[in-house]
Each structure stands twice: as structure tokens, then as C-alpha cells.
Structure 1
Amino acid sequence: MRSTAFTFLLALVALLLCGLVGWRLSQGSLDAVFGAPATVQGELLYPTFKAHDVQRISLSANGVRAVFARNQSGGWQVEYPWKDRMDPRAAESIIGFTLGTRVAEVIPKDKIDSKQANFRDGQVGVLFESQDGRTLCKYVLGRKTAWIGTDPTTGEETPTVFIRPLDKSRKNYVYACNGDIHPLFKDGFRFLRDHQPFLFRPDMLQRIRIRNAAGELTLGREAPGMPWRIVKPLDLPTDLAAMKRLLEGLLTLRAVKVSDRADVTLPTNGTAIGSDQIAIQMFGVAGETLLDILPPQSADAATRLATVSDRPSAVFELPSKANADLVSLSALPLAVNELRDSNLTNIYIPALKSIVIQPAGRPSLLLSSIRPGQCLIGEGEDVRPANKKRLEDLLVAVTGAKIKAFITDAATDFTPWGLDKPFLTLRFLAKDNQSLELAFGSDKQGAVYVNRRGTTSVMRIGDDIIPSIATQAFQWKDSRLWSLNRFDLKKIEFKRDSLPAVVLNYDGQDEKWTAF
């Protein structure tokens, strides 16, 4: 006969088991008690959380451990073994792989050789945690398998890898899953450090300062969306294509290698003689981010060491010569003449009021009442329609011409370029009375130069521009035999040889022509 104490103990155990089962049922399953069933083929291995839930990533492989965490701005930082910025693309790839990988094959854990699947040597441990420290997923990434998976979206073949979940209740199975991110984990996770020295939003960039052997220049703009201008050493408009190339280059500039500062010998005085600098500043931020590029270690060196102010523990090895895979420093437009607007003029044609053409030694020509495809030529009572083709050629020449070379911005004597006595001067007056005057000269070799009056700049242009500009009055005669206003026309008479004349009269009331 059982004792009362023993019966009470059995009842207590039963009660505890019922409570445990009830609690697990409240969590949605009994997986923790009896183990989760295998994830079926074609299903996501980790469908229970979203990318934004991941706040911390821990990795381990070959005795090396690395920890990464989101910062307040949503970016990723390396917490261990370095204090540095994580490559955001790498974080996206690791999370994307984990959330997107699907099961290609299911293998019971006791049916697979752990060594053959690379779960002993060379395995990569992956742990995702939430903001409150809750484990989102924990698994071991093994080697590539012999199975070839299929992308459910594109239908393309994809490699597969062994994955062994280490989550509670999921340790009974090993999976072959599509995708492979092994290349990210080479060299002790060093590739996960951000190899790009700059990380910025191009639309929020306010200022760029460049210092190199050619001098120092500053680019700036007044507000997001406004055009960029060179503000130092001269106030100049920028070339849109060159600015696009510079911004894209700075954004994608990538180091061949990133090292810890403790492992690299750098100048002790901060900045080395002959170093170059590129600094950027964002709208709403007081300070600038400074990239200091050290001189090349030899004349034929393909890379240059560099540091950046917001990542003091990192040293970058940047490509300095043309590189098929990476943006090189030599490919960046970093000089005034590479970044300035190369258009001869930026005239807005609808705003033009008049043009004066002044050839040397001949009377000037005045073009007025400029409208699309037409204008008048002459002054006072001698005003007549001008040749449309000549007007078109002139406007195309001055608005479409490109500067071949910027000779100087500090000319004091214009004689060497024939600009002390220009052979042609063009004056453009806008409807708001803003004006632009261009003087054209040539040297002894026949090269053509231009100066914007009021500046000390001299530029060389192509010699094909000048022939497009008509400088003599007869060239501007209207090409039409008659220039008639059809609304004033009332009568037309045709007469040929000895044939009777044919007369056409216009009846304005009936709006029709009658022949007599």
C-alpha cells in the first residue's frame, strides 16, 4: 500500500508536468519538450524574425571570435576584436542569407559525419540577438554540399551548404540550405571591417575640401539639392559630369586592405610631408570627416596608406593607380580645372534681349528682339529680320562649345594670347540687364583663346567655333526673298510673259481668296 507522502509526490510531479506543458502550449508549441519537427524541403530555415530585429551578431571560427552591434543611427559597428565600423553590405549579406536560405535536404544529426560536413574544423558559428538579448537564431555553418539548389524566384541554380541549428529544440537535424557566404569569413573576419573610408549620404553633403600638390580647393553648396560650386580659390560653377564622378568615387572608394593602427608604422607628427587630404562635411554637422592620404612608399607603388578621422583605429591601403576592380585615387577629379564647368557659356536663350557682334576693324552688328528661331538686325530705322540659320549657328556655337584647356586664372598681360587686341568681341544682354562679354584672340600658332571680360581667366577653345559666327552684315540678310506679314496681305497679282494677269483678292470678312 502506497504511503500518503509518495502519492503526494506523484501528484506534485504530475502537476508540475501539466504546468510545464501548459506553459509551452501558451508559447505556441511543445517543441522545447519533445523537440521541433524538421523543417521541410523548400521552406525557410528561419522564418520567425525580421532583419530589423537583429541588433547583435556574434561569429566564431578557427578560434577567432567577432562581435558586431547596431549603433543608434542603424549602422553596424565592430565591438570585438577591433573598435571599427562594420561593412554595412556584409551585415546585410549575413542577415539576408540567414533569413532567405531555404531547406534543400534534411538529414538527421546521427546520419551525418560531422567531420565530413566540416562541423569540427573550419566551421563558422553564427548567433543573432535582439535588443533585449533574446536569441533569434544560433547555428553552425559547415562546408558546401554536393547538392545544387534552385532559387525559388529566378529558377537559377544555387550552391548549398550544411547548416546545423543550435537553437533549443532544433538540434536533431542538419540541413543542406541554398546560398553560400563563406567568402565573407576569410582571414579571421577582417573582410567584415568596412573597407570604404567614407560613409555618407550624397544628398546631405554640404562641403568638400581637397588639398594636394596642386593647392587647396573647396566645393560647396547652399542647401541640399542646390548646384555645387567651387568656392575656393575662385568662385566658379562646376561641371556636372565631373561632380558626379567625384561624388560617386568618394562614395565607392575602397581599400585593398584595412589594418589595425597598432600593426602599422605611421608618421609620429600626425600628417606626413607630401600627404594629400580630402575632407567632407554634412549639412547639420559642425565638423568635417578628414581622409589623410600619406605619400606613396615608392615611385611605382600601386597603393597609398591613409587614415580617416572618424575611424582612428583603422589604416587603409588605397589603390593609387588604375585598378579594374576598385576606384583608384588617380581616377578621382581632384583639381580645379577638372571640376570647373567646361562650357564656354551657360546662356539661357529665352532670357536673351540682345547680342552685339564686334569684329575688329569693322562696324558692330546688333541683334535684338531675340525669340526662338528669329531676331532683328540693325538699329534705328534700318531694322530688318535677320537670317535664322546664322542666329542658330551663333547660339549653338556659344552655348555648345567646350573649353579645351584652362590656361590661367591670374592673367595680368593678355598679349601672349592676342586678347589685348581681340579679333572678335561678343556682348550678350539679358532681359534683366545682366551681361556677358567674350573677347576672342589668337596666338602666333593660330590657337584661339577667350576671356570673359571682367575676369583674369584665359581659356583655349577649338578653332572650329569662330567660323560658325557670322561677322559681316551681308551674312545676316534674310534668306527669304520676301518677308511678308500674311495678316497684312490683301492682294496678290501673278503676271507671266504675255499671258493675262491673275489677281487674287482677300475678303477679310469672309476670310477667303477670290481669283479674277
Structure 2
Amino acid sequence: MFKRSTWILLGLAVAALLGYFLFDNFQQLRQQQQAERARLFHFAPDTIARIEIRQQQEGEPEEILLERTPEAEEGSRWRIIRPIQSAALDFPVEQLLNSFSRLTPQITLEGAEDLAAFGLDKPRHQIALFPQEGDPYRLDIGNDNFDGSGFYARPEGGEVVLLASTQKGSLLPSLLALRDKTLLRFDTAAVKSLQVQLAEAEPEVVRLERQENTWQIVEPRELPADDLNVDRLLNTLSRLQAVEFPAETKAELAPYGLEKPSAQLTVKLKDGKTLTVVLGAEKEGQVYVITSEHPAVATLLTSTADILRSDFEELRDHRIARLNPNQVGPVTLESQGERVTLNPLPQEKGSLDLRWENPEQPGQPVNLSSLFSSLNAARAKEFLPETDPDAQKALAEPDLKLTFEAKGEDGRDPLRLSLTSAGLRAYVQSSYQPDIAVIDLSTFNSVETEVNRLLEGKAEETRDQRGGSSSGS
């Protein structure tokens, strides 16, 4: 058992720790109260209903008026009322309110009467916050101090104070910083069709339609589209953001190259709504733009405009095959006079592996995943018309002929591929593509190696049959 003195010492230790904890909390509370009392203004940011900012911009007076929107409305909680009508970005507005509510003087110049010495006789910047009830909170902002570490300010009816320069930027956001720069917003899943018209492209117009979960080019001719590039274009359009607004109306389009646009995009949604984006001239790394959903002339970064100006070659699918093993039925492989048809086997319960089998060699399942991977990874470096003489000559007797039939009663036509190499080039002709694809020779070699591996069993069987016939004779 503990001695009595031990219990006493333990009690004193606990009391000391408790006392230190209470004293520390008291000190922190006291410091918070002192900091609160030292602040210029005392209000909660969410009680402010209106903000007025008056400032000189390049010698011209500018007044910005913002109002809080009703909570029932969706989108931004603030709206710019003057000098333009626009939704405001919540972040810079909330940053202004938070900074304003926490303004704490570094120095208070009590009794300072010469306001001109601090740039406060005719202040360049004035901010007024109007609460839902009660008088507004007003602040005049004057000159910076001698070393730029602070700036002079004066609350209405108060003393001149010196505030830290780090607080000035968030107190005086520009109109551009405050305004919502969204030019277009929509749900990409709701898009039914997309048209891209480029002034200096051939073909000039490319029209695409959504077909189930993929995109198909329907103009100038029917071709599979590159889903990744189409999605990238639509994702860019669906959250299109301006850099600047050189004009608030579309009254004068010629100065921005928008009367004869370099590109025009048309998006049709499933609900029947049509959205348009028009691109004009380029200047200093930006491109002028107007949209059907915004009243102003804006600019985009050239890198953003380049995505929107995707042409036919960028939008067409450069893959030579889109094979989903789960949807592939019988597969026929032909090479160097050998031919084999592999039929899909029922998938074993609890297994994700897919197997095919040569009906002439039962009990010897084969895995086609490497062949599928090689074909799905293959990309056309360029496309040639089917009338190209060199390609026609090379494909007259192809090195490989592959046929992939759909599983079950899918209803789709089989995918037929003819592949051949000629010198340093390799050609692919697909039943899904009218043009002839040129692929890397290394890609062709990978496919050929895999096909020949799968045909080895068939070749050995043929040799065995020939050997047996010779012995019998």
C-alpha cells in the first residue's frame, strides 16, 4: 500500500497540473479577448448584406457594389450590381469580409489632424459594409508608410491607424478578381451531339453524335471517334473560364475577329437546348471568344482555345481495334497459310479468366489477353485512302488476317483486320474503318509474334497429320 506521504505528493502533483492547465486556458482566453478588443470592427461576416468599394483605377474612379443573394438561390452567394451585372466569386468576397472583420492596428495615431499627410483627406480607396441591421462599417484607406510594410487607414469617426500591408490585397479586390468568369456550364453526360467548324481546316465541319457509351463521327463521314479527345473537348467546354473581358457587350465583334470566326462549336443537349462558342482572333497568348450563355466578349488562354479547335484528325479514333474480351465470341486467325478458329469457353465459376479453345484440340484452352492488349494498344500514325497504290499492293496478300465475332446474339458485324508489312511500314485495313491505317512496324511485329504463337499448335497438328499419311502410304 502507498504511504500517506505518497498520496499527498500525488495529490499535489495533480493539483499543480490542473492549476497549470487552468492558468494556460485563462491566459489564452485573456489574449483572445485583448485581440478582440483591439480590432477596429466587431461583426460577424455572415451578417453583411451589401458591400461598396470605391477606388481609383488608372486615374478613373471605380465603384463596385455587391449584394448577398437570397439563400434560396443556387450558385454564388454574392452578385455584382455595379458597374456590371454578374455573379460574383464567393472566395474573394468572403476573404474581404474576413480580413475586414479582423483588422487590428499596428499603431494608433491618436489626435492626428493632418489627414493629407496620410493620404486620408481624399482617400483613394473607401470600403463600406452594410449589415442586415444597423449602421454600416466604413473604412478609408490612404498612403503606404515609408517602407511599405503598412498602410494608413481610418474608420469612420475614428483615429488614423497603421495596418499591415499583407491585409491590403484582400481588402481591395479588382472587378476582374470578383466577377465569376464562367462562360459556359453544362453536364457533359447530357450532350447529344457536338459540331466543330474550323475556318482553315479540311474538312471544315466535323459533327459527332453520342451512341450509347461512345462517340461516332457522322460528318463528313461515319467513323469511330476518339472518346478521350472528345471527352477532353467537352470537359473544357462544360466549365469554360474567361481570362479577361475586353468588352461587356457583343455590339462590336469585328475588332476581335468574331465576325469571321476562326472556329465555332455547337453543343446540342438531350433536352433540346443548343449552346454555341465562337472563337475569334488571337492576341498576346489569348483568343477572343463569345458564347451563347454570356453577354460579354471574353478571352481564353491559347492553350484552352487549342483544345476547342480540335480538327478531324484529332477527333477520329486512331485505334485499330476496340476489343472487349467479355464481348468477343469466336476468333479466327490466319497467317502463312495456317488458319484456326478459337471458340470461347464458358467462364469458370469464381474465375475472372477468359479462355478460348480450338475445337480440334479439346482440353487445351488458350488465353488471348496478350493479343487483345497488343491490338487495343495499336495506334495509327496516319490514315491513307483505300485507293493508295502502295497500301493496296501490300494488302493484296496480307501477312495476317484476324476475325473477331461478337459473343451471343449481339447483332454487331464481325471485326475483320488485315495486317501486312512492306519495307519499313506496316498497314492495317479494318472492316470498321474505310481508311487504311499505318502503324509502327514494332507494333505489327508484336501482333504477328502473338498470332504465330497461337497458331503453333495448329501447325504441329498439321505436320503430325502429314507424317501419318506418309507412313500409311
The alpha-carbon distance between structure 1 residues 425 and 206, as it changes in their structure 2 partners (threshold 3 A), is same
Q: Would you say 1:330 and 2:306 are equivalent positions?
A: yes
Q: CA deviation at 1:464?
A: 2.0
User: Per the alignment, do residues 133 and 272 of structure 1 end up closer, same or farther by CA in structure 2, a change over 3 Å counting?
Assistant: farther
Return closer, same or farther for 1:474/1:199 CA change in 2, 3 Å cut-off: closer
Task: Quote the residue 1:397 is aligned against.
Answer: 374
Distance 2:358 2:249 in 1: 73
Q: 2:276 aligns with which of 275, 287, 290?
A: 290
Structure 2 residue aligned with 1:4: none
Q: Deviations over 1:468-496 (max 9, x none)?
A: 33444785449xxxxxxxxxxxxxxxxxx
CA shift, 1:329, in A, is: 1.8
- Please say if 1:357 is aligned against 2:357: no
- In structure 2, what is the Cα distance between the partners aligned to 1:230 and 1:46? 61
TM alignment of 1:8-19, pairs within 5 A: none
- 2:44 is aligned to 48
Output the amino acid matched with 1:273.
K
RMSD in angstroms over aligned alpha carbons? Answer: 4.4
- TM-superposed CA distance for 1:453, in Å, is 1.0
Q: Deviations over 1:68-115 (max 9, x none)?
A: 4466544455433334x35x44x5213323224524436546455644
Give the direction of change, closer, same or farther, for the CA distance of 1:378–1:228 in structure 2 (3 Å limit): closer
Greater Rg by CA: 1
SS in 1 for 2:105: strand
Q: CA, structure 1 residues 360+246, in 2 after alignment: closer, same or farther (shift >3 Å)?
A: farther
Q: What's 2:53 paired with?
A: 59
- Can you list the C-alpha shifts for 1:304-332, whole angstroms capped at 9, x where unaligned? 433333333x2224444xxxxxx442354
- Please report the TM-score for the alignment, with normalisation by the length of structure 2: 0.66
Identity of aligned pairs, percent? 14
Partner Cα separation in structure 1 for residue 163 and residue 117 of structure 2: 13
Question: Residues of 1 paired with 2:146 and 2:345: CA distance?
Answer: 79
Instruction: Quickly say closer, same or farther: Cα 1:258–1:373, change in 2 above 3 A.
Output: same
**1:379 maps to which residue?**
359
Counterpart in 2 of 1:266?
253
Q: Quick one: distance in 2 between partners of 1:236 and 1:54?
A: 55
2:53 aligned partner, one-letter code? L
Instruction: Report the alpha carbon displacement of residue 397 of structure 1 after superposing the two structures with TM.
Output: 0.8
Distance of 1:204 and 1:179 partners within structure 2 = 43
Task: Mark the CA change 1:451 to 1:338 in structure 2 (over 3 Å): closer, same or farther.
Answer: same
Which residue is 2:25 aligned to?
none
Question: For residues 248 and 395 of structure 1, do their structure 2 counterparts lie closer, same or farther at Cα, with a shift above 3 Å needed?
Answer: same
Aligned ranges for residues 9-88 of structure 1 at < 5 Å?
A: 39-41=36-38, 45=41, 47-50=43-46, 56-62=50-56, 63-69=61-67, 72-75=73-76, 77-83=79-85, 85-86=86-87, 88=88
One-letter amino acid of the structure 2 residue matched with residue 40 of structure 1: R
Does 1:438 find its partner at 2:416? yes
1:417 is aligned to 2:395: no
Q: Give unpaired runs (5+ residues) of structure 2.
A: 1-33, 459-473
Equivalence for 1:140: 140
Structure 1 residues 287, 417: closer, same or farther in 2, change over 3 A? same
Structure in which a larger fraction of residues adopt helix:
2
Distance change in 2, residues 1:98/1:206 (3 Å): same
Structure 1 residue aligned with 2:468:
none
2:209 matched to 1:239? Answer: no
Any gaps of 5 or more consecutive residues in structure 1? 1-36, 149-158, 321-326, 479-516
Could you tell me whether the CA contact under 8 Å between 2:187 and 2:238 is conserved in 1?
no
Deviation at 1:65, TM superposition (A): 1.7
Q: What is the aligned residue count?
A: 397
Aligned positions of 1:497-516 closer than 5 A: none
Distance 1:281 1:429, change over 3 A: closer
Question: Which digits, 9 at most, give the CA deviation of each residue in 1:172-231, with x for residues without a partner?
Answer: 574626533269655xx455455x462425556525442213323345658xxx856245
CA distance in 2 between partners of 1:439 and 1:347 (Å): 12
Q: Name the CA shift for 1:454/1:241 in 2 (closer, same or farther; >3 Å).
A: closer
Q: Secondary structure at the match of 2:442?
A: coil
Cα distance in 2 for partners of 1:256, 1:247 equals 20
- Give the conservation status (yes or no) of the 8 Å contact 1:58–1:127: yes
- 2:467 corresponds to 1:463: no
Given that 2:343 and 2:356 are in contact with CA atoms closer than 8 Å, whether structure 1 keeps it comes out as: yes
Instruction: Quote the offset at 1:463 in angstroms.
Output: 2.0
Aligned to 2:128: 127
- Aligned mates of 1:412, 1:266 — CA distance in 2: 43
